[in-house]
Amino acid sequence: MIETGIPKLDEFLGGGIPNGKTLVYYIQPGVEGEIFGLQTIHSSLKKGGTGLFVVSSTTPDIIKGQFREFGWDIHLFQDRFLFVDAYNSLIGAPSNEKYVVSKPDNIEAFSKTIIDAMKELPPSTIVFGSLSTIIDLCGEKETLEAVRTWNKMANLYDHVLVYNFTAWPYSEETLKAIKEDMFNAVISVGGISERVIFGQYFGIFKADWTKEIKKSMLFRVLRPGGIKLYIPKILVTGPFDSGKSTFVHALSTRAISVDRMGTTIALDHGHIDYKGFSADIFGTPGQERFDPIIKLLSGESMGVFLIVDSTNPTDFVRAKQMLEITKSYGLPYVLIANKQDLAGALAPEEIRKQFNLPHDIPIVPVVAKDKKGVFEAFEVLIDKITGGL
C-alpha cells in the first residue's frame, strides 16, 4: 500500500493505494487541487518509496520550489526522487532531468518516455502533475489512449499511478471516461458554498479495492503544512462557571478570552491543529443576556460542545435551555461532563438520565484544567461532524 498522506483519505481507502493500481484526483476548476499529487508523492518518499513526478505545465525547478513552500525537504530523497521533464523542451530550454520528453505536444514521444521510465524503475509512485495539460497539448482521444496504456504498464510493473486532473469543459465522453471508466479510484476535489463559508472538500467517488465510503471532508491548504482537514467553526457553550474558557484553552493550540474579573464577558476564541485537523473554536458566555450570541454562532457552526459542571446539577436546567438553542439548528453535539475530579461529580450516565438524552448522544468525562479528556472529546465531535458531510 502507498499512503497518500492526506488526512483521513488513507483510512477511507483501506490503508492507501495498492501497488499496480491507479488513482485520479478529479479537481473542479478554481480549487487548489494540485497539492494532492504533491502530498501523495511526498508521503511515498517519506515511507522509503521511489517517486517519479511528471511535469508538464511548468519547470521541474518550480515544482521543487513548491515542495519547499510546503516545508518538505526533498533533498532527503534525491536518490529516489526523479522527474519527467515535459515542459522545458516545449519552450526550447535545456533540462537537467534524467527523463525528458523531446516533443511534449506529441503523444508518441510523451508515451515513449513514460514507458521507458516504468520499465527502468523499481515499483514506484508515479504522479502526473497535470493530466489536463497533456490533454491540451496532445488531444483528448490521443491522451486517453496513452493513459490506458500507461495504466496497463503500471499494473504489469507494480507501479502506483496518480493523476491530477482539472475538469475543464472537455467533451462529455472524456469527462465520463476519466471519472467512471479508466481508473481504479477517483477522488473528487471540489468547492462548496453551503452551510458556513466557501470551502474546499474531497471525497471518494469510487475505489475498487475497498468498501464504498460516502464521506466528504472539508480541507484547507497550509504553507507550510500541506492539506489539513478544516472545520470552520465549533461552538463551545454551557452555563456560567461550567469551565468553557478552561476547555477552550485546554483544547487550543492558541486561544484568547475577553473577561472581566475572571468572568468571560465576550467570546473565547481558540484554534486547534490536531491529527491533521484544523479548526476554529468559539466559546460563549453563560449568562442568559448573551443568548443572542449563542443563536448567532450556532447558525454558523458545524458542531457544538455543551459544557456542564458535573458537580452542580442545579445548573442542568440552564444547560438544557442552551442545548435547545443549538439543537434547533440541527447541529451535531457532544456533552462535556467537566470537573470529574471533584467530589460529588456525577457520572456520565447519571447526567444522561437527568438530561434524558438518547444513547447516540456522546457524553465525555473531562477534567479541563488538567486537559484530561479534551482531545478525546474533540475526536468524538469530529467523527459526528464528518459523518454527516
- 130-156 pLDDT, tens digit per residue, is 999 999 999 999 999 999 999 999 999
Domain for residue 235, yes or no?
Answer: yes
The interaxial angle of helices 316-327 and 348-355, nearest 10 deg, is 70
Lowest mean pLDDT among 40-44, 258-262, 290-294: 258-262
220 and 239 housed in the same domain: no
Indicate if the pLDDT at residue 234 is higher than 70. yes
Alpha carbon of residue 83 to chain centroid: 26
| Average pLDDT value for residue range 291-316 | 81
212 and 307 housed in the same domain: no
Indicate if the pLDDT at residue 255 is higher than 60. no
Q: How confident is the model at residue 164 (pLDDT cuts 50, 70, 90)?
A: very high
Q: What integer pLDDT is reported at residue 233 of this predicted model?
A: 85
Would you state the cell numbers that stand for residue 336, as one nine-digit string? Answer: 462535556
115 and 184 housed in the same domain: yes
* End residue of a domain, out of 224, 244, 275: 224
* End residue of a domain, out of 198, 224, 250: 224
H or E element, residue 257: strand 254-260
| Average pLDDT value for residue range 382-388 | 78
Using an 8 Å Cβ cutoff, are 41 and 127 in contact? yes
Cell 483521513: give the residue. 8
Indicate if the pLDDT at residue 63 is higher than 60. yes
Per the model's pLDDT, the better-predicted residue between 293 and 231 turns out to be: 231
Confidence (pTM): 0.80
**AA identity, residue 285:** P
Domain count, the chain: 2
Per the model's pLDDT, the better-predicted residue between 191 and 18 turns out to be: 18
What is the domain extent for residue 49?
9-224
Cα–Cα distances in angstroms (integers) from residue 272 to residues 153, 232, 375, 377, in the given order: 44, 11, 10, 13
Domain for residue 346, yes or no?
Answer: yes
Per the model's pLDDT, the better-predicted residue between 255 and 197 turns out to be: 255
186 and 247 housed in the same domain: no
Residue 104's SS3 state is coil
**Direct distance between the N- and C-terminal alpha carbons of the chain, in angstroms, rounded to an integer:** 27
CA distance 130 to 165: 6
Would you state the cell numbers that stand for residue 61, as one nine-digit string? Answer: 525547478
- According to DSSP, the residues that pair with 268 across neighbouring strands are 257, 283
197 and 218 housed in the same domain: yes
CA distance 351 to 334: 13
Greatest mean pLDDT among 66-80, 285-299, 328-342: 66-80
338 and 274 housed in the same domain: yes
Would you state the cell numbers that stand for residue 197, as one nine-digit string? Answer: 463559508
Q: Return the number of other C-beta atoms located less than 10 Å from residue 288's C-beta.
A: 12
Domain for residue 273, yes or no?
Answer: yes
Q: What integer pLDDT is reported at residue 297 of this predicted model?
A: 59
* End residue of a domain, out of 224, 239, 265: 224
pLDDT tens for 85-107 read 999 999 999 999 999 999 999 99
Domain for residue 3, yes or no?
Answer: no
173 and 47 housed in the same domain: yes
Using an 8 Å Cβ cutoff, are 312 and 281 in contact? no
Indicate if the pLDDT at residue 365 is higher than 60. yes
